[in-house]
Amino acid sequence: MPHWNKYLNLSAGPLLSIIVAMLIGAVFILAIGHNPLDVYYLLFSETLGNSYGIGQVLFKATPLIFTGLSVAIAFKAGLFNIGAEGQLNIGAFASAWAGFTFVSLPWYLLIPLSILAAFAAGAFWASIAGALKAKFGSHEVINTIMLNFIALALVSYLVNNVYLVPATIHTPGISPNAVLARFDIITGLFKGSPFNISFLIALAACIFMFYLIKITPLGYEITTLGFNRNAARYAKMNISRLTVAGLALAGGFAGLGGMNFVNGYKHYFEIGFSENAGYVGIAVALIARNNPFAVIAVAIFFGVLEYGGLTINTMVPKEIVTILQGLIILLVISLSYLFDKKNFRIKHSPAIG
Amino acid sequence: MDEIFVIAFTFQTLRITIPYLLPSIGGVYSEKGGVVNIALEGILLMGAFFTTLGTHISGNIYTGLLFGMAAGLLTALIHAYITITLKSNQIVSGIALNILALGLTKFLCKIVFNSSSNSARIIGLETLDLPFNPFLLVCLIVLGVSYYSIYKTRFGLRLRAVGENPEAADSLGICVSRMRYAGVLISGLLGGLGSAWLAFNQHSYTDGMTAGRGYIALAAMIIGKWNPLGAAAACLLFGLAESFTLQFQDSAIPTQFIQMLPYVLTIIVLAGFIGKATPPAADGIPFEKKD
């Protein structure tokens, strides 16, 4: 089994990071007078030990799969997408807008339209950074950060000044025909959790990315660009077009991430729904090493942390999991230096500007 | 416009500008040396919380200030260690530190003040003190010292050298790591100072009180073309715009569009529409010494 070694090597760094982060977390837990073993036992048993918990975990993991894919596809093209947070918000708003605007459409038209709107809006938002890079050479790192804040201000304007339902902070509800059903209603499993069909869209997106990279010419060109910019230039690839396409795909994936909340859970768009999923997506892609299937596993682990925080909140402030998330990322990039210097580190450490 | 209004408006503008200006100049130091410091937002959060904590415990603002600056320095030290010593990716380190700071401040706030959203009230400084406000004086001193130290001293020359061409600097016997540490640590101190002002001015710590100021400081640094004076001018511009929206709430322009201003301007400047904004050549690139 020659592959086992490879996979073991690849996962050693992340696994060790998780263990060390949890040890540091244990110090915090001890310091406030609780037994870390009790707390961690509760965290894992309440998340993975019953079908409601698993449903909650998968619900929390769904947007992280999308934002993880978003950052991963951009990395494949040698681009650093820090803009998933903004793209997620723009996409979510677009999906809600489609849902509450075209209320008379039947579900088989309205759901594809919502998916299209979310993808297109996210893709458009990210391609602004792509076009700026292609045309003016300005770096996507700072531009995607700036576009995040512009996106948040824009959706805040749209919700508060244009589409507000009075006395709330959300838009009107979407048509019942735009709703992505919850699994507890369809299957009876995961009772009470908002885990819904958008998880299947996330899995489809992973498969889509896998085949895009593996067999399509565009995927080949994107990988070449990410691997070696000069090689792509020699091969007469259109680098400007690839830059825009890479970021547009990234934005599209992130844009779909909001459907989990909008179409699957609350059935409206609300300011602040994203809970930093765009930034956590960076961690997901990094640990998954841009592999679309590994993204699913890592997103589920982060889902465990996010929902797990709520389950231990009576003993330890739930923010302990945010601390763990930050520590895991720091440790992953630090340990990679100590372990495999060659493979793990991002080659194009981007300067700002 | 009467005189009282003009004075009030000026004070308000300065009050808003201070917490942009100090971290922004911090960012200039860090990036001049070649380290991108997205962790500024986390530095501000940590600084604001620990300033509040120090003041709350001791009952005096000087201890609070010390706590705040120490927290900023420590956060910057982690960023420096990971990016300079371990040569890891600067952007990822910054984002991770921002997530860590977000979690840590909320966690500690709940432990100490029994609420994850706000602290108890602290003494702080009154806004009305502004004409004699020590922070304003500190800002002016920092501005002058930063310009002088970056462009007129040997320290500044070396800092700029390791940010522009670390190989050449190294071959001339300059310790690249030490200079880069200096740049990042100064940004931590200035960030801590800026966020102490936020805490004193608000008389408390509240969840997410930095509200993206670290990123705005970075934006100002870029618009100011990595020059402390330019950065300060950009901060003042943002302060004016924000003060304007506070003053004219019902104006024709929705506040969200004013909020976008720093970010839109940054994109425009980066695209080269207003002169060319060129970062230090080795900004963001870890230095690997060739043996």
Cross-chain residue pair A147–B87, CB shorter than 8 Å: no
Query: Closest Cα of chain B to A150: distance in Å?
Result: 5
3-state SS, one letter per residue, for chain B: CCHHHHHHHHHHHHHHHHHHHHHHHHHHHHHHCCCCCCCHHHHHHHHHHHHHHHHHHHCCHHHHHHHHHHHHHHHHHHHHHHHHHCCCCHHHHHHHHHHHHHHHHHHHHHHHHCCCCECCCCCCCCHHHHHHCHHHHHHHHHHHHHHHHHHHCHHHHHHHHHHHCHHHHHHCCCCHHHHHHHHHHHHHHHHHHHHHHHHHHHCCCECCCCCCHHHHHHHHHHHCCCCHHHHHHHHHHHHHHHHHHHHCCCCCCCHHHHHHHHHHHHHHHHCCCCCCCCCCCCCCCCCCCCC
Q: CA-CA distance, A29 to A119, in Å (whole number)?
A: 41
Cross-chain residue pair A351–B218, CB shorter than 8 Å: no
Domain spans of chain A? 51-318
Residue A340 has pLDDT above 60, yes or no: no
Q: Which two tokens stand for residue B21?
A: 């200006």
A159 by DSSP, 3-state: which?
helix
ipTM given for this complex: 0.92
* Beta-ladder partners of A170: A270
* A249: region left, alpha or beta (phi > 0 left; psi from -120 to 50 alpha): alpha
The DSSP call for residue A191 is T
Domain spans of chain B? 3-270
Under 8 Å CB-to-CB from A271, ≥6 apart: which residues?
A: A155, A156, A159, A160, A169, A170
Q: How confident is the model at residue A344 (pLDDT cuts 50, 70, 90)?
A: very low
Which residue of A30, A147, A319, A341 to mutate against B (max B Cβ within 10 Å)? A319
CB A244 within 8 A of CB A160: no
Q: CA-CA distance, A160 to B256, in Å (whole number)?
A: 10
How high is the pLDDT of residue B188?
A: 98
Burial of B272 (0-12, 13-18, 19+ CB in 10 A): middle
Could you tell me if A132 lies within 8 Å of chain B, comparing CB atoms? yes
Q: B3-270: CATH homologous superfamily?
A: ABC transporter involved in vitamin B12 uptake, BtuC (1.10.3470.10)
Q: CA-CA distance, A74 to A251, in Å (whole number)?
A: 9
Under 8 Å CB-to-CB from B242, ≥6 apart: which residues?
A: B16, B258
* Closest A-chain CA to B226: A353
Report, as an integer, the average pLDDT of A63-90: 96
How high is the pLDDT of residue B198?
A: 93
Residue A341 has pLDDT above 60, yes or no: no
Residue A139 has pLDDT above 60, yes or no: yes
How many contacts, defined by CB atoms under 8 Å, are there between A and B? 166
What are the chain A neighbours of B89 within 8 Å (beta carbons)?
A: 333, 345-346, 349
How high is the pLDDT of residue A335?
A: 85
How high is the pLDDT of residue A101?
A: 96
Could you tell me if A276 lies within 8 Å of chain B, comparing CB atoms? yes
* Closest A-chain CA to B218: A142
Q: CA-CA distance, A222 to A216, in Å (whole number)?
A: 10
Cross-chain residue pair B82–A320, CB shorter than 8 Å: no
Cross-chain residue pair A317–B107, CB shorter than 8 Å: yes
Report, as an integer, the average pLDDT of A177-184: 93
Topology annotation, domain A51-318 = ABC transporter involved in vitamin B12 uptake, BtuC (1.10.3470)
How high is the pLDDT of residue A350?
A: 40
What is the distance of C-alpha B123 from the center of its chain? Answer: 23
Which residue of B24, B210, B263 to mutate against A (max A Cβ within 10 Å)? B263
Cross-chain residue pair A323–B266, CB shorter than 8 Å: no
Could you tell me if A71 lies within 8 Å of chain B, comparing CB atoms? no
Q: Render the burial of A53-83: b for 16+ CB within 10 Å, e for the rest.
A: bbbbbbbbbbbbbbbbbbbbbbbbbbbbbbb
Could you tell me if A344 lies within 8 Å of chain B, comparing CB atoms? no
Residue with tokens 């997506």: A281
Helix (H) or strand (E) segment spanning residue A310 = helix A292-311
Q: Which two tokens stand for residue A117?
A: 């709107």
Q: CA-CA distance, A104 to A91, in Å (whole number)?
A: 21
Could you tell me if A17 lies within 8 Å of chain B, comparing CB atoms? no
CB-side exposure of A242: number of CA atoms within 13 Å?
24
Cross-chain residue pair B103–A156, CB shorter than 8 Å: no
CB A48 within 8 A of CB A237: no
Q: CA-CA distance, B185 to A163, in Å (whole number)?
A: 46
Which of A132, A147, A154 lies at the smallest CB-CB distance from B271?
A132
Which of B97, B98, B256 lies at the smallest CB-CB distance from A153?
B256
Low-confidence ranges of chain B (pLDDT < 70): 1, 126-132, 249-251, 275-276, 290-291
Q: CA-CA distance, B87 to B96, in Å (whole number)?
A: 15
What pLDDT digit, counting tens, does each position of A273-332 carry? 998 899 999 999 999 999 999 999 999 999 999 999 999 998 999 999 999 999 999 999
* Closest B-chain CA to A133: B271
Q: CA-CA distance, B245 to B254, in Å (whole number)?
A: 8
How high is the pLDDT of residue A228?
A: 84
Report, as an integer, the average pLDDT of A94-102: 97
What are the chain A neighbours of B257 within 8 Å (beta carbons)?
A: 153, 157
Q: CA-CA distance, B263 to B271, in Å (whole number)?
A: 12
Residue with tokens 């507000």: A164
Cross-chain residue pair B256–A337, CB shorter than 8 Å: no
How high is the pLDDT of residue A3?
A: 65
The overall longest dimension of chain B from CA atoms, in Å, is 68
Q: Which two tokens stand for residue B51?
A: 């300033």
CB A318 within 8 A of CB A309: yes
Query: Closest Cα of chain A to B137: distance in Å?
Result: 31
Under 8 Å CB-to-CB from A212, ≥6 apart: which residues?
A: A73, A218, A219, A249
